[in-house]
Amino acid sequence: MLKYLSHKKYSLALIFAFCLVTTLITIFGTKLNGEIIDKYIVVGNMSGLYKICLMLIGMYIISTISTFVQNRLMINIAQNTSSEIRKDLFKSMQNLPLKYFDTNSSGDLMSRLTNDVDNINMTLSQSITQLFSGVINIVGMLIAMLILSPTLTIVGLVTTPIMFLTTKIIMKNTQPYFIKQQKQLGKLNGYIEEMVSGQKATILFSKEEHVKEEFQKINTSLTKSAVIAQGLSGFMGPVMNFISNLTYLILAICGGYFILSGMDITVGVVFTIILYMRNFNRPINEILNISNTIQSALAGAERVFELMDEEPEKDNIDSVNLENIQGNVSLNNVEFSYNKDKKILKGIDLKASQGQTIAIVGPTGSGKTTIINLLNKFYNIDSGEITIDSQNINSIKMNSLRKSIAMVLQDTYLFSVSVRENIRYGHLDATDEEIEEAAKLAHAHHFIKQLPDGYDTILSDNGSNLSHGQRQLLAISRAILSKSSILILDEATSSIDTRTEVAIQKAMTNLMCGKTTFIIAHRLSTIKNADMILAIKGGEVIERGTHEELLEEEGFYANLYNSQFRSGLSI
Ligand SMILES: Nc1ncnc2c1ncn2[C@@H]1O[C@H](COP(=O)(O)OP(=O)(O)OP(=O)(O)O)[C@@H](O)[C@H]1O
């Protein structure tokens, strides 16, 4: 936080200077208030009284302007700082390895970016000026009181340690609840995010009541910790007020006693000391009060910086950019596990030469998608080696590696921008002509033209205003545009009507032309022509060969093929 604030050191110095002006005016103004009694009201000097009142009005106007400027500067600092934190946080999020998203809910991440940063912002804008002016006021008032009457000052300070002690006790008890409150808020956001994206499933399985109950559980838990945290901290204000009022009473009683017992103290001095004491206690109360806000912000800041400190996905120092990739891919004895306790891939060997088509088949959960994830270096392998054009992928820059691989997944992600911009995701520098050319090759041009605004039609969230097949054709257009030399097709032709499937098949043929292609398909008809088929089971290659070779083997693949043939599935 200090690093962020250090960028604003000149503005902070200016705020400090304005705080000083306001405080000096308060000290001097308070002194004048006391003098009004002793030198003007008691003596009956009315013309002097008018003059001094005018002077006070002038001072109060300057003080108001100075406070306004302080606040204005502080708002700028707070807004800019939180904007910088948001920027850095978003940047860190973009560089996080995929593994992080596997284990953290997206709602919680969003909560860190919004609620937690907002909390920091609010605290900065409210607390820093208060802290500055508070400290200056406390020191200033103390000096002014000591000069005016050391005896009364000591009397007034008797209650100060009680204030600190009470605050310490309250703070110690509230802090855990503030941390819990921020955590629960993140959890609630995570749940909302998950339920909004899974709304269809909720309705389909009539789980609305269950979802409401679950939500209410987290909501109640959040409310509980918030009520305790804020309830305890709300206790602080009245307690502090009580102690302050007690102080004024003690001062009035002792002051009166000192005057009556003939000490060199006037009514004006007692009055001024009480005013000074108010201005001394007020900032102490404020600082102690904002310590709650600061606590809540610190709890948020901890979550923000925890995310920022996450190890980003980094290129190795010696990694290079791959130019003109041919697309020769090989996996040598690759072992991999997502979690240490469960090996997912066991000694996978695979060789794909430029332009070849490799099909991967296997039962669900056998590790097909995992192999694809490793080619993209979404995860690091435990042992073995993956090479592209004989270069270990660990020594290829991530950007360069991923640019050379295009993917058409069953679940295509589309952004809520125009169709054109969605296709452009494949190659950001592509011209409009190149985009249309790619869409034509992908057999998507025809349906795009029929959309209300053609290529400029804005898609709703994740392309929900398009059919599944249309979304896939857009994904193929993207992949064609990317001009990558390696292609990954993940079950790309399932759950689509026959006409769309024919269009998609044609688009795929165009897409695959000259590229090294990896296909994961459950429908074996799509891979009959593959140069090599790998059958995977339990993370191991159990069979490999062409369609004909594997049928002859009469093993796992032949069984799978024949069972699909018998059930009439897409053969
Ligand atoms: N992010 C992850 N974290 C931990 N385990 C995972 C993760 N992704 C997949 N797994 C596990 O790895 C194994 C292989 O999963 P994978 O997705 O590669 O299977 P698949 O062969 O592609 O299955 P399907 O045909 O159903 O898509 C499964 O047991 C799965 O539970």
pLDDT at 147: 92
pLDDT at 571: 39
Is the Cβ atom of 366 under 6 angstroms away from ligand 1? yes
Is the Cβ atom of 255 under 6 angstroms away from ligand 1? no
pLDDT at 456: 92
CA of 415 to the centre of ligand 1 (A): 26
* pLDDT score of 460 more than 90: no
* pLDDT score of 554 more than 90: no
Helix axes 267-308, 9-35, angle to 10 degrees: 160
Q: Give the type of residue at 437.
A: E
Q: Are residues 148 and 205 in the same domain?
A: yes
3-state secondary structure of 512: helix
For residue 519, is it within any domain?
no
Q: Are residues 282 and 394 in the same domain?
A: no
ipTM score: 0.96
Substitution site in 341, 366, 379 for ligand 1 pocket (most atoms within 8 Å of beta carbon):
366
pLDDT at 17: 92
Substitution site in 348, 369, 381, 560 for ligand 1 pocket (most atoms within 8 Å of beta carbon):
369
List the end-to-end C-alpha distance of the chain, in Å, as a whole number: 63
pLDDT at 39: 84
pLDDT at 153: 93
The residue written with tokens 């490793």 in the block is 374
Output the six-digit token pair for 155. 């009397």
Output the six-digit token pair for 283. 């900032």
The residue written with tokens 């007034």 in the block is 156
pLDDT at 57: 93
Q: Are residues 302 and 344 in the same domain?
A: no
* pLDDT score of 200 more than 80: no
Could you report the per-residue pLDDT of 51-102, keeping only the tens digit for each? 889 999 999 999 999 999 988 998 899 899 989 999 999 998 888 887 788 7
Is the Cβ atom of 539 under 6 angstroms away from ligand 1? no
CA of 474 to the centre of ligand 1 (A): 26
- Name the percent of the chain lying above pLDDT 70: 96
CA distance to 72, 414, 470, 554, per residue, from 410 (Å): 52, 12, 12, 30
CA distance to 345, 362, 372, 501, 518, per residue, from 407 (Å): 21, 20, 9, 18, 9
CA distance 361 to 519: 9
For residue 352, is it within any domain?
yes
For residue 315, is it within any domain?
no
Element (H, E) at 532: strand 532-537
CA of 386 to the centre of ligand 1 (A): 19
Q: Are residues 252 and 397 in the same domain?
A: no
Mean pLDDT of the chain: 85
Mean per-residue pLDDT, 337-364 = 89
Could you report the per-residue pLDDT of 212-240, keeping only the tens digit for each? 999 999 999 999 988 988 888 788 788 88
Output the six-digit token pair for 184. 């629960």
Domain that holds residue 146: 77-308
Question: What sign results for the dihedral spanned by CA atoms 95, 100, 101, 107?
Answer: negative
Q: Are residues 249 and 284 in the same domain?
A: yes
* Bridge partner residues of 517 (DSSP): 357, 487
Q: Are residues 278 and 383 in the same domain?
A: no
CA distance 361 to 521: 6
Mean per-residue pLDDT, 133-144 = 88
CA distance 540 to 382: 15
The residue written with tokens 């059919």 in the block is 467
Residue 378: φ, ψ to 5°: -70, -30
Give the domain CATH number at 338. Answer: 3.40.50.300
User: Residues 386, 399: contact at Cβ < 8 Å?
Assistant: no
Is the Cβ atom of 34 under 6 angstroms away from ligand 1? no
Confidence of residue 570 (pLDDT cuts 50, 70, 90): very low
CA distance to 5, 26, 145, 174, 254, per residue, from 240 (Å): 30, 22, 21, 16, 21
Give the domain CATH number at 216. Answer: 1.20.1560.10
Q: Are residues 272 and 135 in the same domain?
A: yes
Is the Cβ atom of 410 under 6 angstroms away from ligand 1? no
* pLDDT score of 107 more than 80: no
Per DSSP (E only), the strands in 295-363 are: 329-336, 345-352, 357-361
DSSP state of 343: -
User: Residues 304, 117: contact at Cβ < 8 Å?
Assistant: yes
Output the six-digit token pair for 529. 């022509």
Question: 400 — alpha (psi -120 to 50), left (phi > 0) or beta?
Answer: alpha
List Cβ neighbours of 181 (8 Å cut-off, separation of 6 or more).
Answer: 222, 225, 226, 229, 296, 299
For residue 428, is it within any domain?
no
Mean per-residue pLDDT, 351-376 = 89
Which atom of ligand 1 is the closest one to the Cα of 339?
Answer: 4
Count the domains in the chain.
Answer: 2
Which atom of ligand 1 is the closest one to the Cα of 371?
Answer: 18
Is the Cβ atom of 378 under 6 angstroms away from ligand 1? no
Mean per-residue pLDDT, 190-214 = 83
Tell me, rounded to whole angstroms, the distance of Cα 30 from its chain centroid: 48
Could you report the per-residue pLDDT of 467-516, keeping only the tens digit for each? 888 888 888 888 888 878 898 887 655 555 666 677 777 777 777 778 89
Q: Are residues 300 and 380 in the same domain?
A: no
DSSP state of 114: I
Tell me, rounded to whole angstroms, the distance of Cα 416 from its chain centroid: 20
Q: Are residues 334 and 198 in the same domain?
A: no
Could you report the per-residue pLDDT of 385-434, keeping only the tens digit for each? 999 988 898 888 888 888 888 888 777 788 888 999 989 988 888 899 99
CA angle 465, 469, 472 (to 5 degrees): 95
User: Residues 376, 405: contact at Cβ < 8 Å?
Assistant: yes
Element (H, E) at 402: helix 398-403
pLDDT at 47: 86
CA of 431 to the centre of ligand 1 (A): 38
For residue 348, is it within any domain?
yes
- Name the percent of the chain lying above pLDDT 90: 25
pLDDT at 330: 92
Total Cβ atoms within 10 A of residue 20: 15
Q: Are residues 366 and 277 in the same domain?
A: no
pLDDT at 1: 81
Question: What sign results for the dihedral spanned by CA atoms 203, 209, 214, 215?
Answer: positive
Confidence of residue 355 (pLDDT cuts 50, 70, 90): confident
58-60-65-71 Cα dihedral, nearest 10 degrees: 170
For residue 58, is it within any domain?
no
Could you report the per-residue pLDDT of 299-317, keeping only the tens digit for each? 888 889 988 888 888 888 7
For residue 535, is it within any domain?
yes
pLDDT at 223: 93
Which atom of ligand 1 is the closest one to the Cα of 98?
Answer: 1
For residue 344, is it within any domain?
yes
**Greatest mean pLDDT among 132-141, 282-291, 309-318:** 132-141
User: Residues 124, 1: contact at Cβ < 8 Å?
Assistant: no
Is the Cβ atom of 411 under 6 angstroms away from ligand 1? no
User: Residues 557, 535: contact at Cβ < 8 Å?
Assistant: yes
For 326, counting Cβ atoms within 10 Å of its Cβ (0-12 exposed, 13-18 middle, 19+ buried), the class is middle
The residue written with tokens 């990694």 in the block is 319
Confidence of residue 35 (pLDDT cuts 50, 70, 90): confident
pLDDT at 567: 60
Which atom of ligand 1 is the closest one to the Cα of 370?
Answer: 18
The residue written with tokens 């920027």 in the block is 87
